[in-house]
Structure 1
């Protein structure tokens, strides 16, 4: 329980930093997709290790497509539900979240997760620059993300808000 409270506090701090950046641009750029088409039977499970400043924490992320809507569920490593949300290509809808996450700007987090894990995610006003295993994401002609895709993991660096996420895919986990 103590770790869950610590995790929630850390996540809230990261959220406040992202929210602070979002205050300068209240609308999340690079999330809306004109050509949103969920891959049929798309399903992905990852362990995420997030780092902001000197603080690191982990969570499990489960993504699944149902009827053209992508669902994401975040769980603590002990299995406690942290959040549940959906994305229809235009809007993120939060179904459930723990109270400590109420200020977390999920629109920005979902955008970054989709660029790192979703096949061929290409929203409006964005440009993906490929350089070997690196994907550089420019939104409105401003570099926002650096994503390094390796066979065993994906490393996302958010350049605007200095945080990183390491995605380690779980082939057949969370059922």
Structure 2
């Protein structure tokens, strides 16, 4: 199936459309994946367009390799986004929804492992929501493998751990 995007100008409009809806600055690969929602776009045209948007001040590129929309990019993108085919915008919106959901989860669920001077490990588990901290728990683990396993399990299902802690702390004792 041929794509709807016909030229580099439309690719630039699409990149600006995406950059305006992504919740935080994003790396090259993320913007590429989100932009490739149309079959007519290829990697080389995308790369050229992204570089042009940075060069013209529509996007910034941080030292960490993250792209962000500028005020100029926001204004010009908003003025041109209606020229993008509806089906392309719909596909982008669906992909952006999933991307932004993953970004929110990364911000809300954190786990880290740090070695202590005595050779044991501290696992820090953090869960937040849009109102602030829900849980901030530090646990001592005897070895790194155990610490990493606890951190991984927490990141997969933090709500389970939270629920079990609340249940353990609020249930009646016999």
If the length of structure 2 is used for normalisation, what is the TM-score? 0.23
Bigger proportion of residues as strand: 1
Who wins on radius of gyration, i.e. which is larger? Answer: 2
Bigger proportion of residues as helix: 2
If the length of structure 1 is used for normalisation, what is the TM-score? 0.23
